Structure 1
Amino acid sequence: MTTAGVTTEPTATDPTATDAVPAGGSEAERLRRWRLVLGEGGGADGTGVELTGRDLAMDRTLEAVYGEAPGLGRRAGQGGSAPKLARWLGDIRTYFPSSVVQVMQRDAIDRLGFDTLLAEPEMLEAVEGDVHLVGALMSLGRAIPEASKQTARLVVRKVVDELEKRLASRTRATLTGALDRSAKVRRPRHQDIDWNRTIRANLHNYLPEHNTIVPERLIGYGRAGRSVKKDVILCIDQSGSMAASVVYASVFGAVLASMRSISTRLVVFDTNVVDLTDDLDDPVDVLFGVQLGGGTDINRALAYCQSQITRPAETVVVLISDLYEGGIRNEMLKRVAAMKSAGVQFVTLLALSDEGAPSYDREHAAALAELGAPAFACTPDLFPDIMAAAIEKRPLPVPEP
């Protein structure tokens, strides 16, 4: 069917959704929308509707990607495909809202192999930027010609800036609070007392005859400037399936690096390990330093991270990987166990993205859970809470599966 790659469930942004017809809408309008959903094949004749004008143009943009014989050309290397794709990119922005445009662009790249055409400046200027497009550009890497690199960076910069604007404020606020709470002092000044924790710690000293609690033990916040600096190591799998996670992790890495109370290290790996910490001030530089694809050697990456730990009790290691290990499994698990025994807070994220449940190695995930390092997918909006819990050494707020 024409919309095989676009949801046919009625939504507010889907212009072909059948339930989008207002109450009392005509039967002809409903048939028209079904005709757009069904396309030229798949029993479309059963509607008895012939599309014209704008509807016909909209149908052709859908047919170009989702039809039985896509009309943009099958191979990305064909010179004749570029003008058609340029026109198509313009058309979909005319007929569909931004959220749908992003889905259709991603489907065109996945279904028709147009990723290499994104190396052309005119293509990049026409596309709607999102996390998946950045992932496609990352996968091209050095294949992007010099003439297109500046345009590619502008596209990536716009997406990264939008993500940072969305995520930075809450991340800094959440982690600043966690750092303050983790810097407890035994003899706090009156204004520094954490009364909630103090009351909980002294409930056994409740005197019913006086209806009060005797606070034998005071728990306080650390005063400004006294909190112990935390070391955070983000260890990111750069295999092709982890593209969205790499994008979000790079943005979060830059946010963490901007906080004076956190020392952040960013490590990416496949079968090799690359330390991109020096690029953390600009996540765009980080992303263009990533080479998606290749094998996976988690053990080797963790060995490097372990070598960088100087203060285990003040260190949080965040492994972001689908856990399909190509290295030495037992050594990997031993390294995790050793780090945890030394006092390192170890977090395993199967994905850091807004996608659904990721594909991952369930055996390795179960083994890590037995070591006290549960593996789970995490949305970007939940990441600050995960990091706050790790910094405070609280149980992680693991999402429901």
Structure 2
Amino acid sequence: MGDANSATAEIEPDSADERLRRWRLVLGGESGGEGTGRALGGADAGMDAALGALYGGDGKSGDMSRTGGLGASAPGVARWLGDIRTYFPASVVQVMQRDAIDRLGLAALLLEPEMLEAVEADVHLVGTLLSLNKAMPETTRSTARAVVRKVVEDLEKRLATRTRATLTGALDRSARVNRPRHHDIDWNRTIRANLKHYVPEYRTVVPERLIGYGRAAQAVKKEVILCIDQSGSMASSVVYASVFGAVLASMRSLATRLVVFDTAVVDLTEELADPVDVLFGTQLGGGTDINRALAYCQSRVTRPADTIVVLISDLYEGGIRNEMLARVAAMKASGVQFVTLLALSDEGAPAYDHEHAAALAALGAPAFACTPDLFPEVMAAAMEKRPLPVPETAA
């Protein structure tokens, strides 16, 4: 017992001190730490200064009670970016960078090459750069493309292999044949098609017609049209959709078209070989005319039964609502598989037009937010014409 008490006595002061340290970093303040009485030194002081520059005071540059803020100085911000990369892991750095852009209005500083070289690149930073694309000077453009390319390549490594494998399997299964080899028989569909041939005395079905899975080489080429809303709120979705568009375009068994829109419609299919070119061909912001975009997509459908249209939009329609819904209904009636994604990102469901989402759901096109990891499964279900893996919270 004596040894146990001694061990507890040795641990508790350290544990209490660690708790005070953490509270001091959370609360900030002067050396007293908002009543904690805990002073900071060394790396802790540097961490506290980096946090205070962003989150201290009222969040406006130049008025930070903890450290005086970042101000609008590019050298000061560059030093701060270096500090947070020293003190925090990459995932935290990315969050702090996003907060700095939002809270301190630092987006304009990203137009400077030195700043871009200092930041930790992620999907949200790419979205910010794309929104600044038209204002970007030539001296910054090459650096910005390098930042965007790094993020795109990382996403492709994460998503491409699984996407190709999932969709190749779906294409194999969607090519049904009536004289299958034994290991290619689709027993569920075969039994359903032959229920009238049930033999009671043997208590089994004697099939007259076998239905089997075909191979991808035998399948009719599927057509995929990605129709992407490029309003400012859809930045992350545009990035992910561009990467997926390039992956789908690399599959010989698919014919992929990529269309982006605001109040105008731009077909970026010719750029699909390089998703970085696709991204720099977008123009985030502006209004939204979904009806006009769907009219263009509808005009490009040549084989409805083998076509999947994926609308990625928050559904805030600035065009003609009834025509938009009529186009969706007409495409579905012709045999098109129509998928509506409110977002294609890791953030979950964004703000969206609930009335339009409910109207699409009534047409058999449920609208839901989709993570990048779920997207291959959604596309596979659409290719096989089976129910989509719709989250319970979907419209």
TM-score clears 0.5: yes
2:212 is paired with a residue whose SS is: coil
Aligned pairs for 1:305-344 (under 5 A) are: 305-344=297-336
CA offsets, 1:336-391, max 9 Å, x none?
11111111110000000000321000000000011111000000000001001111
Map of 1:223 onto structure 2: 215
CA offsets, 1:181-229, max 9 Å, x none?
1110122244532345434544665557546542223111223421010
Change (3 A) 1:197 1:275: same
Q: Which of the residues 40, 43, 53 maps onto 1:51?
A: 40
Map of 2:25 onto structure 1: 36
What residue identity is the alignment partner of 1:367? A
Q: Deviation of residue 119 (structure 1)?
A: 1.3
Matched, 1:262 2:254: yes
Matched, 1:303 2:300: no
Segment of structure 1 superposing worse, 240-249 or 176-185: 176-185
What residue identity is the alignment partner of 2:25? L
What residue identity is the alignment partner of 1:110? D
Alpha-carbon RMSD across the aligned residues, in angstroms, is 2.1
- Gaps (5+ residues) in structure 1? 1-21
C-alpha distance in structure 2 between counterparts of 1:57 and 1:190, whole Å? 68
Map of 1:26 onto structure 2: 15
Map of 1:9 onto structure 2: none
Q: Which of the residues 342, 348, 372 maps onto 2:340?
A: 348
C-alpha distance in structure 1 between counterparts of 2:295 and 2:60, whole Å? 50
What residue identity is the alignment partner of 1:115? A
Matched, 1:67 2:53: no
Map of 2:108 onto structure 1: 116
1:35 is paired with a residue whose SS is: helix
CA offsets, 1:234-291, max 9 Å, x none?
0000000000000000000000000111100000000010000000010000001110
Matched, 1:130 2:119: no
Segment of structure 1 superposing worse, 321-330 or 205-214: 205-214
Map of 2:5 onto structure 1: none
1:278 is paired with a residue whose SS is: helix
Map of 2:366 onto structure 1: 374
Q: Contact (CA 8 Å) 2:168, 2:216: kept in 1 or not?
A: no
C-alpha distance in structure 2 between counterparts of 1:29 and 1:269, whole Å? 52
C-alpha distance in structure 2 between counterparts of 1:31 and 1:369, whole Å? 52
Q: Deviation of residue 39 (structure 1)?
A: 1.4
C-alpha distance in structure 2 between counterparts of 1:304 and 1:85, whole Å? 45
Q: Contact (CA 8 Å) 1:63, 1:71: kept in 2 or not?
A: no
Map of 2:66 onto structure 1: none
C-alpha distance in structure 2 between counterparts of 1:354 and 1:29, whole Å? 33
Change (3 A) 1:271 1:363: same
Q: Contact (CA 8 Å) 2:348, 2:370: kept in 1 or not?
A: no
What residue identity is the alignment partner of 1:50? A
Q: Which of the residues 228, 235, 242 maps onto 2:227?
A: 235
C-alpha distance in structure 2 between counterparts of 1:23 and 1:287, whole Å? 54
Q: Contact (CA 8 Å) 1:73, 1:81: kept in 2 or not?
A: no
Q: Contact (CA 8 Å) 1:245, 1:353: kept in 2 or not?
A: yes
C-alpha distance in structure 2 between counterparts of 1:361 and 1:70, whole Å? 31
C-alpha distance in structure 2 between counterparts of 1:386 and 1:225, whole Å? 22
Q: Contact (CA 8 Å) 2:262, 2:286: kept in 1 or not?
A: yes
Q: Which of the residues 137, 150, 159 maps onto 2:142?
A: 150
Q: Contact (CA 8 Å) 2:216, 2:253: kept in 1 or not?
A: no
C-alpha distance in structure 2 between counterparts of 1:70 and 1:110, whole Å? 10
C-alpha distance in structure 2 between counterparts of 1:201 and 1:167, whole Å? 37
C-alpha distance in structure 2 between counterparts of 1:161 and 1:264, whole Å? 20
Give the share of equivalent positions with the same residue, in percent: 78
Q: Contact (CA 8 Å) 2:33, 2:39: kept in 1 or not?
A: no
C-alpha distance in structure 1 between counterparts of 2:12 and 2:357, whole Å? 49
2:132 is paired with a residue whose SS is: helix
TM-score, normalising length: structure 2? 0.90
2:143 is paired with a residue whose SS is: helix
Map of 1:271 onto structure 2: 263
Q: Contact (CA 8 Å) 1:193, 1:218: kept in 2 or not?
A: yes
C-alpha distance in structure 2 between counterparts of 1:25 and 1:317, whole Å? 60
C-alpha distance in structure 2 between counterparts of 1:175 and 1:208, whole Å? 40
Change (3 A) 1:227 1:67: same
C-alpha distance in structure 2 between counterparts of 1:268 and 1:335, whole Å? 17
Q: Deviation of residue 83 (structure 1)?
A: 0.3
What is the number of equivalent residue pairs in this alignment?
Answer: 376
Map of 1:168 onto structure 2: 160
Change (3 A) 1:311 1:94: same
Map of 2:67 onto structure 1: none
- Gaps (5+ residues) in structure 2? 1-10, 64-69
CA offsets, 1:82-113, max 9 Å, x none?
00010000000000000000000000011111
Aligned pairs for 1:352-363 (under 5 A) are: 352-363=344-355
C-alpha distance in structure 2 between counterparts of 1:311 and 1:80, whole Å? 55
CA offsets, 1:326-345, max 9 Å, x none?
11101101111111111111
C-alpha distance in structure 2 between counterparts of 1:132 and 1:227, whole Å? 38
What residue identity is the alignment partner of 1:105? Q
* Bigger CA radius of gyration: 2
C-alpha distance in structure 1 between counterparts of 2:323 and 2:89, whole Å? 49
